[in-house]
Structure 1
Amino acid sequence: MKIAVAKGDGIGPEIMDAVLGIFNAAGVPLEYEFVDMGKWVFDKGYSNGMTPEAQQAIETLGILFKGPMETPKGKGVKSVNVTARKTWNTYANKRVFQTLHGVDTVFSKAGIPIDVTVVRENIEDTYGGIEHMLTHDVALSRRFITRPGSEQVIRYAFEMAKKKGARRITCGHKANIMKITDGLFLEVFYKVAEEYPDLKADDVIVDDLCMKLVTRPDSFDVVVLTNLQGDIVSDLCAGLVGGLGFAPSANIGDHICIFEAVHGTAPDIAGKNIANPTALLLSGIAMLRHLGFMESAAHIENALLFTLESGIHTGDFGDKSIPSVNTTEFANAIIANIGKLPAHGAKPVLPNMPMTPTHFKLEKNPMLESAEMAGEQIVGVDIFIESNEQPTDLANKLLQHTGVLFKLVTISNRGTQVWPKGSVFTNLVNQYRCRFESEDDSPLTQIDVLELYKRVMSEYKVCSLELLNMWEGKKAYSLAQGQ
């Protein structure tokens, strides 16, 4: 089987060479097509950080194994790591965090074992990177949570938990505050949970989740979260088991999957042959299991665990009374230990089940769409305007533009209501959300909204607007704080 390999930037080539050397010594039946991605590709003028040949190879082969990559700072380009995940719709980011004997942490010293799998939604949320300056003082980032996108990652998490034999699956969220976006994610979680009655499904507010993870991490099994929250929580979990140097990452999609180390490029030690290749090796082991090379994966992981138990370590971890080894020596130690079993946590050697490579040739972009809900109505509009006036003065002017169809319901600033009720102690910025609703609760049209927009813009700069929709009699928009 052939896979695409991108060595990456900084320490990437060193640790990738070490890992592929271990694969070759273990007789892993893979061929590698090396592709051009990373900072130096940006520097050549490719704005997405990869050459067209690299993109074609990855889309043909379906598997990318990549080292850490740097995105140039201050050049207006997007992260190549995020671009790759989003371009190929690798919607589920799976990271497994386990106690590793030989990697001391406060929990290992206390005898508390950790085995937590974090599944992070990988495409949506604020990682859409859709941002605008609405005024010279106010920036906006759009946060997209979709029903089909949420179902993709949540269903993957449940299927993975079922195959793993998990005892519990937990949804981390902030639906107590973000009732529409996180509320949708949580709603989909419990809808999918109905299909898996044998799994205990529950939810935890994300800040409480973080507190519980650093006090009782052994109480969690599988945790699924939205993109930004999942990014933060997965790095938190890495700290529980020794740091990002021990954090594997798998990005799973329907057609393309990416396996990578999530730590940085460490340019300060690049070229010194002292980097720790463990995270990339663990990611590679996850890739082997994904491809069905179960026997090779077990032999290599057991050799790694035996090596760590033996006290062999690179300079970033381990017993400081034992001299550290360099990257090459660490890899050679693992190779020498292939066939040996660790005293703790030995992985069972299962028969290989190699998957048949399937080369997808899509004719058009897949469209994700759930069944349309009945009774859609436009019942109003939020108009975001630039103004440095006091709320009452602003309201008095806007009331002259409502016409016969609209009524001005509320004005908020940074999400807090300031009219018709509010407090003089609420600090203001020069951008207001002004909510207009239907005068008699009758449905409105986009033309009605446009006419209101034209009247308001005759006096104010309109930064943006959002329709207030209802489906099946339920409001599909949030209230302001204090409304």
Structure 2
Amino acid sequence: MYEKITPPTTGSRITFSNGEPIVPDNPIIPFIRGDGTGVDIWPAAQKVMDAAVQTAYQGKRQIDWFKVYAGDEACEVYGTYQYLPEDTLQAIKEFGVAIKGPLTTPIGGGIRSLNVALRQINDLYACVRPCRYYPGTPSPHKNPEKLDVIIYRENTEDIYLGIEWRQGSEIGDRLIKILNEDLIPATPEHGKKQIPLDAGIGIKPISKTGSQRLVRRAIKHALRLPPNKQMVTLVHKGNIMKYTEGAFRDWGYELATSEFRNECITERESWILSNKEHNSDLSTEDNARQLEPGYNALTADKKAQICQEVEAVLSQIWETHGNGQWKHKIMVNDRIADSIFQQIQTRPDEYSILATMNLNGDYLSDAAAAVVGGLGMGPGANIGDECAIFEATHGTAPKHAGLDRINPGSVILSGVMMLEYMGWQEAAELIKKGIGDAIANREVTYDLARLMEPPAQPLKCSEFADAIIKHFSD
């Protein structure tokens, strides 16, 4: 079945039903050690996860680890440029859930990014990045503890699909010529716009299917959160890119108000209901006037459209959402992307789950991680309907490899996400407690130790793992 790897002789595979994992007590989980500092952080993470599972379940559950290869280590085993062997792809597909350290960017043609390739091959459409502050973690922000968000980033579309042509290429020039001479002139709203003849060009696909399955998973996650965190914010630049990012927003609202009608309220619907609750005699037009700034200056058609919106909300959901019932529903709203970058810093406690497209999500997740202490403590998951891969979110840092000094927090917390995904909440909580207590006791690796006031005595990577485990029993 496999060329150069052998699965464990014990353990069982994780299966899936309706997009959710069915986990045995002894799952086989493939792991990719990772390049660079993967040699240090993976053993530390594995030790912590095994200890947490043993402590939580006393031998009734265990993980049977299955070593597979990707990145530079794969080239050593399978040959030059074999960065992502078929063995690895087959193992991940067969066993369903995997975890990995950081991977190098391949040299040569073929695969641009191993991380992106793994996501696209396995249709892992949701990149999930929680950003939570652990007290004591150095942060440049005054109140980093106020930010507690989960970013749902669409993983398979947008610019990151990688369909582009370099400047001067034959196909790129042909495409520009067709656009300039045929398609743009045939679309009146584009006016006299033209693409420069010396441009590189890329494609930005945003599909209804891709957008809605991401928002669906984000809303399902929100349903599991405490009532005060049940909010999903659609992040986009639809004010400029109306047919891609604007469509993402519209499709998100469409899904929320159809599939999750009883569980969700949009922000705009809440305003309409609230206006009526404050004044039961409020007319449709007065409600519309309160809803829409500048209502009196609008055209008659636009006024009629807003009045129809008010009437539709009141007639369709007043019974199920009115009289304050909407306050106990999942709030679905939207924000412009550049605004949300400011608001996660200035008004962080107003947000919970942020659902967005690929490029926005890449920027936003790293920015949010910086608020709570940086990528060294940033976990990540890539989830589809029949597969999930959990990963460290930082780079390989090869100059630090083998020195036993890098912070393993990112891959350890990715392990926490994996345990939670598997339903092993007790083990996950032990690790979160261990990490929190270790940081609070200033038992940290050099990247955090040097930023503490006063600076702490740094632990080695392996010592940090031991400190986390020690705090399981405090």
Give the TM-score normalised by structure 2: 0.69
Mapping 1:38-53, distance limit 5 Å: 38-41=71-74, 49-53=83-87
Mapping 1:220-259, distance limit 5 Å: 220-259=351-390
Q: Distance in 1 between matches of 2:32 and 2:103?
A: 9
Residues 42 and 72, structure 1, Cα contact 8 Å, conserved in 2:
no
Structure 1 counterpart of 2:116, which letter? V
SS in 1 for 2:417: helix
Q: Distance in 1 between matches of 2:145 and 2:407?
A: 25
Q: Distance in 2 between matches of 1:209 and 1:239?
A: 15
Q: Kindly provide the CA deviation profile for residues 27-63 of structure 1, in whole angstroms up to 9, marking residues without a partner as x.
A: 1610100001113435755767222211111111001
CA gap of 1:238–1:118, structure 2 versus 1, over 3 A, is: same
Q: Distance in 2 between matches of 1:231 and 1:64?
A: 21
Q: Larger relative contact order (C-alpha < 8 A, sep ≥ 6)?
A: 2
**Aligned equivalent of 1:328:** 462
**Aligned equivalent of 1:131:** 164
SS in 2 for 1:328: helix
Residues 48 and 77, structure 1, Cα contact 8 Å, conserved in 2:
no
Q: Kindly provide the CA deviation profile for residues 352-374 of structure 1, in whole angstroms up to 9, marking residues without a partner as x.
A: xxxxxxxxxxxxxxxxxxxxxxx
CA gap of 1:110–1:262, structure 2 versus 1, over 3 A, is: closer
1:32 aligned to 51, 65, 70, which one? 65
Q: Distance in 2 between matches of 1:148 and 1:77?
A: 26
Mapping 1:16-415, distance limit 5 Å: 16-26=42-52, 27=54, 29-41=62-74, 49-73=83-107, 75=109, 77-107=111-141, 109-110=142-143, 112-133=145-166, 134-135=172-173, 137-165=198-226, 166-194=229-257, 195=260, 196-197=263-264, 198-318=329-449, 319=452, 320-340=454-474
Structure 1 counterpart of 2:206, which letter? I
Q: Distance in 2 between matches of 1:23 and 1:112?
A: 25
Q: Distance in 1 between matches of 2:461 and 2:237?
A: 41
Q: Distance in 2 between matches of 1:264 and 1:242?
A: 16
> Residue 167 of structure 1: CA displacement?
3.1
Q: Kindly provide the CA deviation profile for residues 345-397 of structure 1, in whole angstroms up to 9, marking residues without a partner as x.
A: xxxxxxxxxxxxxxxxxxxxxxxxxxxxxxxxxxxxxxxxxxxxxxxxxxxxx
Q: Distance in 1 between matches of 2:213 and 2:360?
A: 17
SS in 2 for 1:65: strand
CA gap of 1:336–1:214, structure 2 versus 1, over 3 A, is: same
1:5 aligned to 31, 35, 38, which one? 31
SS in 2 for 1:317: helix
Q: Distance in 1 between matches of 2:109 and 2:34?
A: 19
Q: Kindly provide the CA deviation profile for residues 421-458 of structure 1, in whole angstroms up to 9, marking residues without a partner as x.
A: xxxxxxxxxxxxxxxxxxxxxxxxxxxxxxxxxxxxxx
> Residue 222 of structure 1: CA displacement?
0.8
Q: Distance in 1 between matches of 2:79 and 2:199?
A: 32
**Could you list the runs of 5+ residues in structure 2 that have no partner in the other structure?**
1-26, 55-60, 167-171, 174-196, 265-328
Structure 2 counterpart of 1:53, which letter? D
Q: Distance in 1 between matches of 2:144 and 2:401?
A: 35
Structure 2 counterpart of 1:234, which letter? S
Residues 47 and 77, structure 1, Cα contact 8 Å, conserved in 2:
no
Residues 75 and 81, structure 2, Cα contact 8 Å, conserved in 1:
yes
Structure 1 counterpart of 2:209, which letter? P
> Residue 334 of structure 1: CA displacement?
1.1
Q: Distance in 1 between matches of 2:30 and 2:144?
A: 40
> Residue 215 of structure 1: CA displacement?
1.7
| Greater Cα offset, 44-53 or 261-270 | 44-53
Give the TM-score normalised by structure 1: 0.68
Residues 145 and 182, structure 1, Cα contact 8 Å, conserved in 2:
yes
Residues 48 and 80, structure 1, Cα contact 8 Å, conserved in 2:
no
> Residue 24 of structure 1: CA displacement?
2.2
Residues 145 and 372, structure 2, Cα contact 8 Å, conserved in 1:
no
**Aligned equivalent of 1:444:** none
Residues 144 and 372, structure 2, Cα contact 8 Å, conserved in 1:
no
> Residue 329 of structure 1: CA displacement?
0.8
SS in 1 for 2:127: strand
**Bigger proportion of residues as strand:** 1
Aligned-CA RMSD value: 1.7
Q: Distance in 1 between matches of 2:144 and 2:459?
A: 27
Q: Percent identity?
A: 35
**Could you list the runs of 5+ residues in structure 1 that have no partner in the other structure?**
341-483
SS in 2 for 1:209: helix
Q: Distance in 1 between matches of 2:66 and 2:355?
A: 33
Residues 416 and 431, structure 2, Cα contact 8 Å, conserved in 1:
yes
Residues 288 and 294, structure 1, Cα contact 8 Å, conserved in 2:
yes
**Bigger proportion of residues as helix:** 2
Structure 2 counterpart of 1:79, which letter? S
SS in 1 for 2:344: helix
Residues 3 and 63, structure 1, Cα contact 8 Å, conserved in 2:
yes
> Residue 113 of structure 1: CA displacement?
2.0
Q: Distance in 1 between matches of 2:144 and 2:464?
A: 26
Structure 1 counterpart of 2:85, which letter? T
